[in-house]
Structure 1
Amino acid sequence: MKGTHMLTANEFIRKHKMEYTSIDVKNEMDTYIDEMKKGLCGEKSSLLMIPSYITLKSEVKREKPVICVDAGGTNLRVAVAKFSEDGSFCTEEFQRYLMPGVEKELEAEEFFDILADYILPFTKITKNIVISFAYRAKILPDIDCEIVEITKEVKVKNAGGKLLGREICAALAKKGADGCNIVVVNDSVATALAGKAEKLNDGYGSFTGTILGTGSNSCYIEYMRNIAKLEGGEEGLMVINTEAGSYNKVPRSDIDIAYDESTQNPGIGVFEKMTSGGYLGPLCDFTLRTAAREGVFEKGFSMAGTVSTVDVNAFLTDGSGALGRYFTAEADRNAAREILLNIVLRAGRFLALQMAAVAVKAAKENDRVCMTIEGTTYEKMFGLKKEALTVLLPYLDSIGIKADVISVENAVLKGCAIAGLSR
């Protein structure tokens, strides 16, 4: 590169229209809300706005136990939970198991049978069961779910098309536990309800839930009269799973588009590919290689293997990890840091947009909204959380919404309890 003008990191970012400061929640909000409304009406929208069929029609029942089951990616947790008269949450029993299908592949019947075995001892206390199911499934109006596929580390054959609640109820009945009632919720729906469990007596007007880990999603509480794709126009409230990772109306640079086209499923999960832990590392890798081709780095960038999200975090935190070992010249390190930090701060602003939209759209009794957020990318990625909150909270304050952003221990189990005790 000697004798030619090297493109600076700042020039590169501006050339590709990737500046994080160009993302303005106020300017993007109307488009996001419009897409939410289209999804609720069943019109074409990148936001699927999936009804959970969890209708919050009554006050949360006190002193009534419910079995809560968190069927996660690797672990299965089962607890008997209740809310005491003063609104505090307590678990009377708590067991943790490895998810069936992690150690060896199972037939669907074996899978349901083992789940029933784990739940059975608790049915002596109550027959009301709520399961948070972290796999692709279609939630049905009777609040059961039709399994689409079981993925991640869990291997189950022939589960597609089966009704999770019905199958477990049948297995429990064979073991002597007749009359069980099972409700199934998505894990992000449970997170949305967890804040309500945590802050039952704190006078919040609404609750939202967001996950930013490997993937990205938000749920919130909507007036049922606004869910036009559900016939009936009932009064009351329902939790809506927005499937926020699919949103596709934000400004994208040519690099974002080219990266998306290089992935396994182009055009799917567009928003997630700019924000979540499953994609941030590879997007940063793609961007660094583009920058190298355009002459930003003296040394170029030809690191073997793809940069991971963990690598990006390590480099931004203290200059360590694989990227720290690669970029040894100070000018190259500084340029790489500027490009990567810009991508991460932009992800923080996108997260602020996603969270602001559900806070604005949520059914509210007053101007106070409790926003629960979970996920390792949110908690651990250098600079992301601070940027998101620095943008989100003043914006909501400016439009008259007083928001508290919280994380909740055992969020999914607490959300399950709310789902089972406020119907």
Structure 2
Amino acid sequence: MKVIDDFFKRNNFDYKIDIEYASSILLEDMKKGLESNFETASSMDMIPLWKNLPDSVPKDKKVIIIDAGGTNFRAGLVYFDKKGVPEIISFFKHPMPAIDREMTNEEFFDSIAEYLEPLRDEAEVISFCFSYAVKIFPDGGGQAIKLSKEIKLPHIADCKINEGLLQALSRKNWTRVKKVIMVNDTAAVLQSGIFSETNEQRFDSHVGIVLGTGLNSAYIEYDKIEKLKDTEFYNKPQIIVCESGKSNKIPQSKFDKNLSENSNLKNEYFLERMCSGRYLGELCSIALRTGAAEGIFSPRANKMLLNSRNFSSEEISLFLKEQNHKKNIFSDIIDSGAVSADYVKIYFICKCVFERAARLSAAVIGAACIKTGKGKSPDRPICVSADGSMFLKGFLIKERIFKSLHTCLTEKKGIYFVLKTNDDAVTLGTALAAFLN
């Protein structure tokens, strides 16, 4: 496929990006984000949560959980029984507020309060997983730093999210809830790893990765954190949410720069746009239109691709999985009678976009594992808990990530890990967050 390779080179698109190289770049950015001058030194926020995992799980406790994500709003009630085994008693899902239209803060929190009505006063604590960059305070409160995933809340940074929800519940005459604890979704996924431990399998540390609508990672920092030097948490191990998707250190292709120019946050979340489900379909579409503009397809395909819509990540992933040249999302554009050159070129371009996303996601995880300094024995590996629609369902994403990590971490660096997924990772991790020290 020399035509495609030359096309990629002209557009600075490196789908075979070296994972060790990418990990080292991200690791350096992470280290700078923990320094005293972090606000100017790093493109990642490196948010401390002021908490570490507990020695034991809570017992005979209830907590209301909220998972406010990039697409869906989920809520439920979790009960830890007398042995500490969690049970999801009730659970429901709604569209995420402020996705389809702009909202004021009060409208946003009132919408959440309406969603929560079936759980009125079922527990004293709400654990609120807000899947965006949030500054977490030592008391468990939180304030939005920057919103990605095209959510429309222009003034959300002007308030504390936990206080805004408590005020909305008060307007709805709730009486029992005393506290709202904020947690990031990636930290929740990390925390869910504790439920994967058994007497036979103990972990040396934990890492969380969410690759869905967005991209983020979290890990446990064991060294002194210079930006916390004047606090009591300076020398205490704690969970750090990296905000990996904000990293701007990985070289961008012309496709990436085109995508950034049309984003609401064109000067931020560069890595997220290179990897996550919110953007991969559009990135493939941009690459295909660029190829058409350069004339790499047949005249008919060039003309039709130039005027084609943006395909979603799910559509592209399904196209790659099915490998059906006769009936697919591009059937109106390319000849369906045989495996044409146009089909092969389109398939290869889309496959390479997903390949790079998997490699960069593996680099994010690899950097977090290396930063823990743990996992030096196969008997006590690092537990990498992973979640997100792109990780779980994206074309060969999970498989490529595992293979890349095994080569980069275990074979080359002697760092052992296990990759865990749990359908209820965010729910269980969010519930556990309410009881962390």
Could you tell me the TM-score, scaled by structure 2's length?
0.82
CA–CA distance in structure 2, aligned partners of residues 159 and 30 of structure 1: 34
Q: Is the 8 A contact 2:64 2:122 kept in 1?
A: no
Aligned partner of 1:421 in structure 2 is 435
* Structure-2 residue corresponding to 1:10: 5
Q: Distance in 1 between matches of 2:138 and 2:404?
A: 37
| 1:38 equivalent in structure 2 | 32
* Aligned counterpart in structure 2 of residue 50 of structure 1, from 4, 24, 47: 47
Cα distance in 2 for residues equivalent to 1:119 and 1:157: 28
CA distance in 2, matches of 1:282, 1:92: 36
Residue 218 (structure 1) aligns with: 217
Classify the secondary structure of the residue corresponding to 2:49: strand
Q: CA deviation at 1:223?
A: 2.3
CA displacement at 1:369 relative to structure 2: 0.7
Choose from 18, 24, 28 the match for 2:22.
28
How far off is 1:36 after superposition? 0.2
List per-residue Cα deviations over 1:56-106 (Å, max 9, x = no partner): 4x4124424140412324333221322654x6x321632426479589976
Q: CA RMSD in A?
A: 3.3
Change (3 A) 1:396 1:108: closer
Contact 1:207 1:370 in 2 (8 A): yes
Matching residue of 1:96: 92
Task: State the SS of the aligned residue for 1:71.
Answer: strand
C-alpha displacement at 1:193, in angstroms?
1.0
| One of 136, 139, 150 as aligned partner of 1:139 | 136
- The total of aligned residue pairs comes to 411
- Residue 243 in 1 paired to residue 243 in 2? yes
Match status 1:379 vs 2:392:
yes
User: Distance between the aligned counterparts of 1:297 and 1:64, measured in 2?
Assistant: 63
Structure 1 counterpart of 2:192: 194
Counterpart residue identity of residue 36, structure 1: M
The reply on whether 1:65 has 2:65 as its aligned counterpart is no
Say which is worse superposed, 236-245 or 65-74, in terms of deviation. 65-74
SS of 1:271 mapped into structure 2: helix
2 CA distance for matches of 1:313 and 1:359?
A: 28
Q: Equivalent residues in 2 for 1:280-295 (5 A)?
A: 280-295=280-295
- The verdict on how the C-alpha distance between 1:83 and 1:348 changes in structure 2, with shifts beyond 3 A counting, is farther
Structure 2: runs of 5 or more not aligned: none
Structure 1: give runs of 5+ residues left out of the alignment. Answer: 1-5
CA contact (8 A) 2:285 2:310 kept: yes
| SS of residue paired to 1:277 | coil
| Gap change, CA 1:391 and 1:82, over 3 Å in 2 | same
Q: Match of 1:406?
A: 420
Change in 2 beyond 3 A, CA 1:235/1:84: farther
Equivalences for 1:153-192 in 2 at 5 Å? 161-169=158-166, 177=175, 180-192=178-190
In structure 1, the residue matched to 2:361 is: 351
Give distance in 2, aligned partners of 1:158 and 1:28.
35
Choose 212-221 or 169-178, whichever is displaced more.
Answer: 169-178
State the Cα deviation string for residues 358-386 of structure 1 (Å, max 9, x = none): 11112637641111111111222223222
CA 1:242–1:12: 2 relative to 1, 3 Å: same
Residue in 2 that maps onto 1:80 = 78
* Pair 165,234 (structure 1): closer, same or farther in 2 beyond 3 Å: same
Question: Residues 422 and 310 (structure 1 numbering): CA distance in 2 closer, same or farther, change over 3 Å?
Answer: closer
116 and 150 in structure 1: CA distance in 2 versus 1, 3 angstrom threshold: farther
Displacement of 1:417: 2.9
Q: Which moved more, 1:412-421 or 1:150-159?
A: 150-159
Does 2:333 match 1:326?
Answer: yes
CA offsets 1:279-307 (integer angstroms, 9 cap, x no match):
11111111112212222111313343223
Q: Following the alignment from structure 1 to structure 2, what is the Cα–Cα distance between the partners of residues 45 and 95?
A: 38
Give per-residue Cα distances to partners, 1:232-269, cap 9 Å, x unaligned.
25443221111111112123333433443344432321
| Residue matched to 1:3 | none
1:216-237 deviations in Å (ceiling 9; x for gaps): 1111111262353453254432
